[in-house]
Amino acid sequence: MVSVARTTPNSGLRPEIQGLRALAVLAVVLYHLWPNRLGGGFVGVDVFFAISGFLITAHLLREVRSTGRLSLSRFWARRVRRLLPASLLVLVAVGVAVTLWVPSALWAQMFQEIGASALYAENWQLAANTVDYLARDNHPSPVQHFWSLSAEEQFYIAWPILIIVSLFIARRLRRINRRFVIGVVLATITFTSLAWSIWDTRYSPASAYFVTTTRAWEFGAGGLLAYFAPEVLGGKVAIRTIVSWLGWALMVVTMFTYSGLTPFPGFAAAAPVVGALAVIWAGSENLTYTPSFLAKIRPVQFVGDISYSLYLWHWPLIVIVPLALREQLTAPTKIVILLAAVLLAWGSKVWVEDPIRAGHLAAARPWRTFATVGLGMAVVVAGAGVGLNALNLVASADQAAVQRLIDAKTPCFGAAAIDPANQPCVNPALKDTVLPSLTSSLRDISPTWTTCQTNQPVATECVLGVKGGTRVALVGDSHAHEWLTAIQAIAKTQNWEVHMIVHGSCPFSHVQWMGSSGQVDPECNDWNAAVDEKLASEAPYSYLITSMRAQTRQTIVGSTPVAQATLTGFQASWQPLIDRGTTIVGIHDPPNSSDRPKGCIIANPHNLAVCTKAQSVALGSEDYLADAAQQTDGAVEVDMSEYFCAKQKCPDVIGGVLVNRDDHHLTETYATSLAPYLDRAIAAAVAKGKSDIVN
């Protein structure tokens, strides 16, 4: 029987843990650079979580055993010195790079996320964005990867507090061993988080990926290993070899078999977590025939040493370099990025991480660490705030400029420049004008997008326009909502009281819409049912105006053709209203813009005429709602395409006005300029519909 050296967590640097760090960071980096080659590389983050849970819990339990208590200030000061200096350096560098090379149209999102990352709340910021319709199509942020660091910092705050609470409970219950109480508390939190992770991944997969509550169990699993089995697995080398191989295999297999379609974290995250913990439990001493033995070689140890800094630096380069070069990353550029990330990681470890971790702050009282790093955090947050404030000033200036042009009744402004009844219409004073500017374009939006549009299965209603006027309903998804500004202008002249009920990504229809999982979307269908009930219980409307993003979803129709099923679905929603005298007005979906962000406008500020999209492409999607309006008695279609496209081209800028704020939503400014033409088109369509009925 071969004797095994029993290595404890406090015996120094463990080669297998460095090897795990190297594997984890390389998996994440390669996944971000070549996602099609390593579809499950994102599980490297879960490996990091398990390692952190094991090491931190082992450290805390050792302190409890030796002193009977925990010093939160000393523990947090050590964590702060270890993690925050390098992360704050990266955030400062990213802020400078965003200012220099990122299009100003993206600044609002990126400065907001830099501030959230400095406060270690980026994971909650991203989770909020996943349920915020206006943020769902955000460009990847150069600090998006700070979500995992945020979750880790939150663990470092909460976990020792839980142990202190356990010690307090044990003191109050004098007959119960404190170690037992600690185990019960930590296990309860871990398994509760696992259960929540499974549930939330099933029902809210987008936000579940980021939030701490669905990830806490991964840290907790490492903590429980430190609690129950702090030493390396005893027994024959053969047993440890098998356990080690199984652990490495679990992690590597998930890296190659998982993908963005894998429900995650939930059950799926257990494989890489268990794999990492198996490798830690097996150790590396006397294991010659496992990858843990290879973890001892110098290159692997080097990557393990710089793993934290490499994680910090690689993602900002991946996001910012193509924006700076204004081209997609090529294979050679990706290799340069990888080498640059390694060099930056080595430099920040040698010149930032190590000196601060072992420098004068380490010998000083904890409050000096908190004060120093707190000042750094304040500088980063303040810098992000300055950037956001500058954007607010630009947005205010844009609004004032638009209002001046409207008040002056500027010829050919906005949709007037493309009005077929007023051609040619060219105003030289508007040449090279783009309002709103790209810097504030994403903010050119009605406040109702945050106050009235819901993402819940409830029929939230906002009443606008002229109180007591002709009752008009605006119902549908965000592509119905984007017409609101024009409809509000019409309401003033036509004496309309507008009742708006909108839900992001949910057209007003009885069609069984599919969600992102490929299954029936219960939220959208529940919202439609709530809208049906609400409309049936209220006084009839003269008009119900609706629209939807063309070909926004597939339907669950079995063998029935999609077009026929969609027609039937719209008619089922509309008919009860038509029977009560309401005219359904279905507005054809506007064209999509040429790209997002407006790279063409940035590259051609003095030749905006080249920034167009072919009409056949921009309007190429089948608009089932418009088709249904054409084929339903009591409904009319309104097609405003001629106010977006002319001569087979759909410009990005019309009459000095930016048409779309993103790739498929109108700016409020352009929607406002459409008001007189939409008013005329609705009146003409309704008159024609009544004429057709009479005839």
Q: What tens digit of pLDDT does each residue of 161-174 get?
A: 999 999 999 888 87
DSSP tally for the chain: helices H, then strands E: 28, 10
Most confident of 443-452, 508-517, 545-554, 635-644: 635-644
User: Residue 93 is which amino acid?
Assistant: A
Residue 7 maps to a domain: no
Q: What is the mean pLDDT of residues 343-367?
A: 90
Residue 394 maps to a domain: no
Sequence-separated (6 or more) residues with CB below 8 Å from residue 216: 155, 158, 189, 190, 193
Burial (0-12, 13-18, 19+ Cβ within 10 Å), 407? exposed
β-bridge mates for residue 583, sequence order = 543
The encoded tokens of residue 395 equal: 């947005």
- A 10 A CB-CB count for 603 gives 11
What pLDDT is stored for residue 521 in this prediction?
65
Q: What is the mean pLDDT of residues 256-272?
A: 95
pLDDT over 70 at 594, yes or no = no
Q: How many domains does the chain have?
A: 2
Does residue 662 share a domain with residue 528?
A: yes
**Degrees to nearest 5, angle at CA 271 with 265 and 276:** 110
Which range is least confidently modeled, 112-116, 444-448, 475-479, 553-557?
553-557
509, containing H or E segment: none
Is 435 in contact with 656 (CB distance < 8 Å)? yes
The DSSP output letter for 138 is P
User: Residue 563 is which amino acid?
Assistant: A
pLDDT tens sequence across 40-59: 999 999 999 999 999 999 99
What pLDDT is stored for residue 604 in this prediction?
84
The answer to whether the peptide bond before residue 436 is cis (omega within 30 degrees of 0) is yes
Candidates 507, 509, 504, 514; CA nearest to 554 is 514
What pLDDT is stored for residue 134 in this prediction?
54
User: Residue 586 is which amino acid?
Assistant: G
pLDDT over 80 at 339, yes or no = yes
Q: How confident is the model at residue 6 (pLDDT cuts 50, 70, 90)?
A: very low
What pLDDT is stored for residue 136 in this prediction?
57
What pLDDT is stored for residue 442 in this prediction?
83
Q: How confident is the model at residue 401 (pLDDT cuts 50, 70, 90)?
A: very high
Is 599 in contact with 663 (CB distance < 8 Å)? no
Does residue 427 share a domain with residue 366?
A: no
Residue 9 maps to a domain: no
Does residue 632 share a domain with residue 563?
A: yes
More confident residue, 286 or 582: 582
Residue 131 maps to a domain: yes
What pLDDT is stored for residue 641 in this prediction?
94
Q: Residue ranges of the alpha helices (H) in 138-269?
A: 146-172, 178-203, 205-208, 212-228, 237-257
Q: How confident is the model at residue 295 (pLDDT cuts 50, 70, 90)?
A: confident
Residue where the block lists tokens 């409309």: 535
Does residue 430 share a domain with residue 573?
A: yes
Mapping DSSP to helix (H, G, I), strand (E, B) and coil, where does residue 586 land? strand
Does residue 197 share a domain with residue 232?
A: yes
What pLDDT is stored for residue 11 in this prediction?
39
- A 10 A CB-CB count for 156 gives 20
**Degrees to nearest 5, angle at CA 539 with 535 and 542:** 90
What is the rounded distance in angstroms from the CA atom of residue 647 to the CA atom of residue 91?
47
Q: What is the mean pLDDT of the chain?
A: 90
Does residue 445 share a domain with residue 373?
A: no
pLDDT over 50 at 3, yes or no = no
Is 642 in contact with 420 (CB distance < 8 Å)? yes
Task: Categorise residue 412: left if φ over 0, alpha if ψ from -120 to 50, beta otherwise.
Answer: left
Residue 10, CA atoms < 13 Å, CB-side half-sphere = 8
Q: What is the mean pLDDT of residues 422-437?
A: 92
What pLDDT is stored for residue 9 in this prediction?
40
What pLDDT is stored for residue 551 in this prediction?
62
Is 284 in contact with 14 (CB distance < 8 Å)? yes
pLDDT tens sequence across 504-535: 888 999 887 665 555 566 788 899 999 999 99
β-bridge mates for residue 638, sequence order = 587
Does residue 480 share a domain with residue 374?
A: no
What pLDDT is stored for residue 412 in this prediction?
96
Residue 263 CA from chain centroid, whole number:
16
What is the rounded distance in angstroms from the CA atom of residue 399 to the CA atom of residue 403?
6
Does residue 379 share a domain with residue 475?
A: no
Task: Out of 337, 372, 387, pick the residue that ends a domain.
Answer: 387
Does residue 269 share a domain with residue 150?
A: yes
Does residue 98 share a domain with residue 161?
A: yes
Task: Categorise residue 248: left if φ over 0, alpha if ψ from -120 to 50, beta otherwise.
Answer: alpha
Burial (0-12, 13-18, 19+ Cβ within 10 Å), 397? middle
Residue 112 maps to a domain: yes
pLDDT tens sequence across 167-197: 999 888 877 788 999 999 999 999 999 999 9
pLDDT tens sequence across 64-79: 999 888 999 999 999 9
Range of the domain at 203: 15-387
pLDDT over 80 at 133, yes or no = no
What is the rounded distance in angstroms from the CA atom of residue 216 to the CA atom of residue 212?
6
User: Residue 475 is which amino acid?
Assistant: V
Is 230 in contact with 65 (CB distance < 8 Å)? no
pTM for the predicted model, two decimal places: 0.84
pLDDT over 70 at 574, yes or no = yes
Residue 256 maps to a domain: yes
Q: How confident is the model at residue 7 (pLDDT cuts 50, 70, 90)?
A: very low
pLDDT over 90 at 18, yes or no = yes
Q: What is the dihedral of CA 182, 184, 187, 191, to 10 degrees?
A: -150
β-bridge mates for residue 503, sequence order = 454
Sequence-separated (6 or more) residues with CB below 8 Å from residue 429: 410
pLDDT over 90 at 332, yes or no = yes
Does residue 457 share a domain with residue 328?
A: no
Residue 4 maps to a domain: no
**Degrees to nearest 5, angle at CA 666 with 660 and 671:** 125
Q: Where are the beta strands (DSSP E) in 326-404?
A: none
Pairing of strands 496-502, 653-654: unpaired
Which range is least confidently modeled, 127-136, 429-438, 559-568, 617-626?
127-136
**Degrees to nearest 5, angle at CA 50 with 45 and 52:** 95
Sequence-separated (6 or more) residues with CB below 8 Å from residue 532: 573, 576
What pLDDT is stored for residue 310 in this prediction?
98
β-bridge mates for residue 654, sequence order = 657
What pLDDT is stored for residue 111 in this prediction?
95
Question: Residue 676: which CATH number?
Answer: 3.40.50.1110
Residue where the block lists tokens 């050119």: 444
Task: Out of 387, 403, 433, pick the residue that ends a domain.
Answer: 387
What is the rounded distance in angstroms from the CA atom of residue 43 to the CA atom of residue 656?
48
pLDDT over 70 at 693, yes or no = no
Candidates 202, 100, 210, 88; CA nearest to 154 is 210
Residue 498 CA from chain centroid, whole number:
32
pLDDT tens sequence across 630-683: 999 999 999 999 999 999 999 999 999 999 988 789 999 999 999 999 999 999
pLDDT over 70 at 268, yes or no = yes
What pLDDT is stored for residue 367 in this prediction?
93
The encoded tokens of residue 293 equal: 């033995």
Which range is least confidently modeled, 53-62, 450-459, 484-493?
450-459
Residues constituting the chain: 695
- A 10 A CB-CB count for 493 gives 11
Task: Categorise residue 583: left if φ over 0, alpha if ψ from -120 to 50, beta otherwise.
Answer: beta
Residue 324 maps to a domain: yes
Does residue 324 share a domain with residue 187?
A: yes
Q: What is the mean pLDDT of residues 87-116?
A: 93
Share of the chain above pLDDT 90, in %: 70
